[in-house]
Amino acid sequence: MKKYVFTILLSLILSGFYHLDAQKDPIRENFFDAEFFLSEEDYKEALYSFQKVYDAGYQENCNLNYRIGICYLNIPGQKDKSISYFEKAVTNISENYKEGSYTEISAPTDAYLYLGNAYRIASMLDKAIDAYNKYLTLAVKIGTADLDFTKQQIESCNRAKVTMKNPVPIYKENLGKNYNSSMNNFQLIMSGNEDEMAYMTSQKFYDAAFYVKKVNGTWTNPINITPQIESDGNQYVSSLSFDGIKLFLVKIDNSDGEIYVSDFSQGRWNPSKPIGKPINSKFFESHASLSPDGKTLYFTSNRTGGLGGMDIYKSILSDRGEWSEPENLGSNINSALNEETPFIANDGKTLYFSSQGHTTIGGYDIFTSVLNSNKTWSAPVALPYPINSTDDDLFYFPDPKNKGGYITLYETEGLGNGDMYYLKTIPSEVAVNEPKPVVEEKPVVKEPVAVQEVVKQPVVAEKPVVKEPVVVDEPAKTTSFKYFIKPIFFGFDSYALTDAGKEKLNDLIKALKDYPGLRLEVRGYTDAIGAYEYNQMLSDKRAKAVADYLVAKGIDSKRLKNTGLSESENIALNASSDGADSLEGRKFNRRVEFRIIELGGALLLIEEIPIPEQLKVK
């Protein structure tokens, strides 16, 4: 018995020293915070923490340069910033690279692939080809998919060098302040009758779905329908039915994607519901577009039996209201790589979609194909440069009159991080300085008086379409989530708040001050490393650190209840099935969550932590 007690005490002492030692290294803490956010594909948060390590004297660390490069390459509008970091990373390449290791100083061979992508996006095409070829030479252990992709990108760069010498003049118009905010604005869709449209805008804490209706020929003000469809900020508009009363969405939940549907009735959108089998599967469904007659759904999925990664399928609605078994559109449409965001035009036979695998000039390009009378699809034709670019070109929605289309662009002169634009090619017979042909009505601005080639300089609307609000059949006051409360994560064996954690708490403080009746329980957790008793103490300290921060900012302590729960409610694996340490899983467990005691009329959501399926506690 004495030996057992001594073992417990020794374990607690050693665990305490181990924890205290880790606590003294804020650089290590920032690194693992960044790795955690990178694993969640939260590139902005990851970049924030990686940059703190970089600025602490790690500018020569090739692994850190590689990780920062990945972050920038996945942030639209900032991808060119990745180049200098990847250029540094490839100066020290190792085939024995250890991902996620704090002590790693080299970069993997993949750094050359990413450097090639960065050069390609910046239209530095010869440098991109050199980087791709270097990657092919070094990466002797890569899979067929990477080989195919890399070879495709080399072909794309060579094709782009020819295509970019002969750009097609286009009309390009920013949709204006009525639709584009200072945040990211994307995925605009319209009904076939041109009376309804929807789009997405990134709010501070979630992605919101907006809906706009035309009344007496005038577009009304946008309405945030996120609460109506009961989205947690993770449902994205995909298409509208021709009559505008059925909205298709895609719900992204952890690593899963499913198609959802919402119906419009009695002046509002009903809560969305999954479309179900056989369209939804255990695989990833990422997009859906309904034909004008409402009988055929075109959608994308990476289910087994396809020709590449994501393929385009169709399903037919029977007279009994049941969807048929999905049919792959075949090799004329689908390639060995990915196809995405298909839209069927109002004529019911012209398909617009994005592809990595056809004759692109880099990344995804937009293509069209026509359904022939014999039910076969014509060979895809790429839209011209500069509508297609050397970057990824996705979610091009053809306007109902099939004269142009809507797309999100990341322009330095835009209104937000990403803005929605209307694009249309100018017929070659129209001289640049002659009056512009009549442009079909769009939901944003009056037609410009004169025409010029505006590939680089978009015409931004000075006045929004809606001069005076028009009352529509909606509730007098539309409820929307004002705050989105996120969990606070901690470094290993630390109860110190990170800058990212403080930023989240500052937003929570705003909610608490706006709603004096709101009361919360602050619940602290740890991973399963160390003794339970020590972790109980650490979880108490994490909850107290959060509560103390809130109180220091003017929140009454009586509105907060602190609870430490040690490792009793782990939500992710601390160890894999073979007993190996699960570094990625433990990051999710080192957290503080919030539970509502009294809502007090607050308009808020509490985030459900998006844990990858392979890391979930079963």
Instruction: Please provide residue 138's backbone torsions phi and psi, each rounded to the nearest 5 degrees.
Output: -85, -35
Q: What is the pLDDT of residue 428?
A: 54
Report the CATH number of the 170-460 domain: 2.120.10.30
Q: Residue 538: is its pLDDT beyond 80?
A: yes
pLDDT (0 to 100) of residue 20: 41
With cut-offs at 50, 70 and 90, classify the pLDDT of residue 148. confident
Q: What are phi and psi of 395, to 5 degrees?
A: 55, 60
More confident residue, 531 or 362: 362
CA atoms of 542 and 440, how far apart (whole Å)? 59
Tokens 């017979």 belong to 429
For residue range 435-464, what is the model confidence (pLDDT) as tens digits?
A: 333 334 455 433 333 333 333 333 333 333
* Helices of type H across 452-525: 499-514
Helices (H), 351-436: none
Single pTM value for the model: 0.67
Closest by CA to 212, choosing from 201, 226, 203, 225, is 225
Report the amino acid identity of residue 316: I
Q: What is the dihedral of CA 120, 126, 127, 128, to 10 degrees?
A: 30
Largest CA distance in the chain: 97
- The yes-or-no verdict on residue 474 having pLDDT over 50 is no
Q: For 243-254, give one letter per residue: b (16+ CB within 10 A) or e.
A: ebebbbbbbbeb
Is 371 exposed, middle or buried (CB count within 10 Å of its CB: 0-12, 13-18, 19+)?
Answer: middle
Q: Which residues fall within 8 angstroms of residue 269, CB to CB, at 6 or more apart?
A: 211, 225, 228, 229, 247, 262, 263
Q: Which residue ranges make up each domain of the chain?
A: 23-163, 170-460, 483-615
Query: How many residues are listed for the chain in this entry?
Result: 618
Q: Tell me: the pLDDT tens digits for 546-578? A: 999 999 999 999 999 999 998 888 888 887 766
Give percent above pLDDT 90 in the chain: 61
Cis peptide before 222 (omega within 30 of 0): no
Residue-wise pLDDT for 83-115, tens only, equals 999 999 999 999 889 988 989 999 999 999 999
pLDDT band at 430 (very low <50, low <70, confident <90, very high): very low
Amino acid letter at 109? T
Residue 587 is predicted with a pLDDT of 87
How high is the pLDDT of residue 555? 92
What distance in Å separates the CA atoms of residue 63 and residue 99, rounded to the nearest whole number? Answer: 9
* Beta carbons of 192 and 432 less than 8 angstroms apart: no
Q: Homologous superfamily of 483-615 in CATH?
A: OmpA-like domain (3.30.1330.60)
Hey, what amino acid is at 346? N
Its CATH architecture, for the domain 23-163, is Alpha Horseshoe (1.25)
Rounded to whole angstroms, the Cα distance separating 489 from 38 reads 14
Q: How would DSSP label each residue in 131-183?
A: HHHHHHHH-TT--HHHHHHHHHHHHHHHHHHHHTTSPPPEEEEE--TTT--SS
Average pLDDT of the chain?
85
